[in-house]
């Protein structure tokens, strides 16, 4: 299954058809549930069943970039991502502090990563600078 959603659950066409029969709905409705475009109790049940019983895989789209995990001289653990636009994003793994610099080294973005979704937002922003 292909999706343009930021997150989705990857399932085979066969699984989607079986879920549609099981939940007495259309394959299109199952697709909408698996791409998080439907948010209700039935949609949550379909997603849960797809993953637990049909081998579906939760997926997430993130920007494509080179990622390097470094340890600096001071013992600081930093994840570094270099995007195609020349922006370099760095995230301190211990504190969650995130900052991005342009090709010339000027800081263009600063943020804090508390949850994975925070990292996704900062990555998308860095990629679009």
Torsion of CA 28, 32, 35, 41, to 10 degrees: -130
Sign of CA dihedral 48, 56, 116, 35: negative
pLDDT (0 to 100) of residue 23: 97
pLDDT of residue 101: 95
SS3 state of residue 54: helix
pTM above 0.75, yes or no: no
The counts of H helices and E strands in the chain are 4, 7
Measure the CA–CA gap between 27 and 100, rounded to whole angstroms. 42
Burial bucket for residue 13 (CB in 10 Å: 0-12, 13-18, 19+):
exposed
**Mean pLDDT per 10-residue interval, the chain, length 129 residues:** 72 96 97 94 96 91 79 85 91 93 93 89 85
Count of beta carbons in the 10 Å neighbourhood of residue 11: 23
């Amino acid at each position: 299954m292909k999706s343009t959603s930021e997150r989705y659950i990857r399932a085979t066409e066969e699984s989607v058809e079986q879920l549609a029969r099981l939940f007495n709905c259309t394959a299109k409705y199952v697709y909408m549930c698996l791409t998080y475009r439907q948010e209700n109790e039935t949609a949550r049940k379909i997603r849960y069943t797809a993953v637990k019983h049909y081998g579906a895989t939760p997926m997430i789209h993130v920007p494509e970039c080179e990622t390097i995990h470094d340890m600096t001289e001071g013992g600081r653990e930093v994840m570094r991502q270099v995007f195609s636009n020349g922006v370099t994003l760095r995230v301190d793994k211990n504190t969650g502090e995130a900052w991005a610099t342009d090709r010339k080294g000027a800081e263009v973005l600063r943020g804090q990563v508390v949850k994975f979704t925070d990292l996704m937002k900062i990555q998308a922003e860095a990629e679009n600078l």
